[in-house]
Amino acid sequence: MRPLLQKTPSRCTSPLTKGTKLTMNFEKEIKEQGYRRYRGAVDRSVYEYFNCDWSWKAIWYLKKGHYQCCGCKEKCETSDPDGFQLFLDLGE
Ligand SMILES: [Zn+2]
């Protein structure tokens, strides 16, 4: 069963992934779009906000203040920095 066309209510919907197949290439895709790996700590509250059970798989990417998770199947994303601990050194 692959209900790709089924619309499910979720806060994890991403305009970035609309029309995009769920493929292993998602990580590559967002890298090509300029996302960079976010290696800071992510607070539990972030996953609670997303109601995401996949925090153990989460791999976060960051682009201009926009956080995109490509580890879980929901591909959570947010522009809210709450819960993301930014590095003090942002020189890049
Ligand atoms: Zn998620």
Q: What is the pLDDT of residue 60?
A: 95
Domain boundaries, the chain: 26-78
Residues of the chain under the 70 pLDDT cut: 1-24, 86-92
At 19 the pLDDT is 47
CA–centroid distance, residue 4 to ligand 1 (Å):
17
How far away, in angstroms, is 14 Cα from ligand 1 center?
11
pLDDT at 78: 95
Contacts of 48 (CB under 8 A, 6+ apart): none
**What is the predicted pLDDT for the residue at 16?**
54
Looking at residue 8, its pLDDT comes to 47
Which residue's entry shows tokens 């790709």? 4
Radius of gyration of the chain (CA): 13
Helices (H), 1-92: 26-32, 44-50
Q: What pLDDT score was predicted for residue 73? A: 85
How many CB atoms are located within 10 Å of the residue 60 CB? 21
